[in-house]
Amino acid sequence: MSKHGKVLVAMSGGIDSSVTAILLKEQGYEVIGLTMKTWDYESSGSSKKETGCCSLDSINDARNIAVDLGFHHNILDIRSEFGDYVIDYFTDEYMLGRTPNPCVLCNTHIKWEALLKRADKLGCEFIATGHYANINKLNDRYYVSKGKDVNKDQSYALWGISQKNLSRTIFPLGNLEKKEIRKIALKSGYENLVKKSESYEICFVPDNNYRNFLRNRVDDIDKKVGNGNFIDEEGNIIGKHEGYPFYTIGQRKGLGIALGYPAYVTNINMKKNEVTIGSFDELKRDGMYVNKLNFMKYENINDKLNVDTKIRYNDKGNPSIIEQVDDTVKVYFGNGVSAITPGQAAVFYENNDVIGGGWIKSSFDKKEIKEYKKIKYD
């Protein structure tokens, strides 16, 4: 009989998920391992050798850890669900002129749901992952907080998890730093895990070339979209581009245009197949609209609230005031923020705690919004 009950651990074969299993077993849980097969590289059109969490080597690494530690290991094939939901979303967003964040969507709608369904079948009370984050509870509401290791914190990617799913989730690495994880792995005899390289690519775009992926995924995309115009902030045509889906807000490299100064994509107009190019200063926006919300720490926001808002994974956060209006949050930045990108996630923090988040719908300048005159920043 286990001390704390049964827990299903998501295992990728890497150091973080393996140490998660080690720690939970040491704490007295009955551990069962699960590796999810999400994608086949051959179908992406990539010539790169299959690596990362979906590769046969990684699955075998996870299984070997389970055998060494004496617990069962399962493989769950979710390629169908993953393709129908995450990859279709990824493709559709680019075709709508937005920049998707598939890893956040996968966590929320695929991996957590798949883990909990299998946990129920196996009689597991909990699921666990190797994310660098913490879970806390206030007034019967569960919420994610930043992990101790500020360089590895993954709270940004977890804002979409439901209350029900959070209540059954364990993050054993939340109060540890990466160097401590390595020490635990070495102490447990897994030097190979410490030496194993970590993948930061999107799992179904193995060479990080999303243009090739779209061309393999969307039939005749170049003919359907066609070349379009690069324009400046005044609307003047300054060059030709390959088609709006192949560009993202804030992009500087690979534009194929020389203007005599560092140039960035500042706007994408899908309907006109136009891509606006400007200077770094012209990337700045004063606020944004965020929808498809999920709140954690509070059920709703009833008044204006001072928070830090992150608009991308490696963003340190920006002081802001948020205001909920029906199913949308208006975000006001005091000093403006560069490269606010529709399609990316926006996550709202109160100190280290995730209040909630949503998807960026659009950005605005303060001259466009009357409410800006009423906003006072602390």
CB atoms within 10 A of CB 56: 10
Out of 53, 54, 124, 203, the active site residue is 203
CA distance 120 to 59: 22
Identify which of 304, 298, 307, 294 has the alpha carbon closest to the alpha carbon of residue 358: 294
Instruction: For residues 247 and 243, give the distance between their C-alpha atoms in angstroms, rounded to a whole number.
Output: 8
From 53, 54, 106, 124, the catalytic residue: 106
HEC assignment per residue over 206-268: CCCCHHHHHHHHCCCHHHHHCCEEEECCCCCEEEEECCHHHCCCCCCCCCCCCCCCCCEEEEE
Q: Would you say how long the chain is, in residues?
A: 378
106 is catalytic: yes
Do 169 and 9 contact (CB within 8 A), yes or no?
A: no
Give helix 210-217 / helix 88-95 axis angle, nearest 10°. 100
Structure tokens at 41: 């590289």
Query: Residue 147's closest CA among 166, 128, 132?
Result: 132
What the block records as the tokens of 287 is: 């606020």
Say how far residue 104 (Cα) sits from the centre of its chain.
Answer: 3
28 with 2: CB under 8 angstroms? yes
Catalytic (active site) residue 103: no
Active site residues: 106, 203
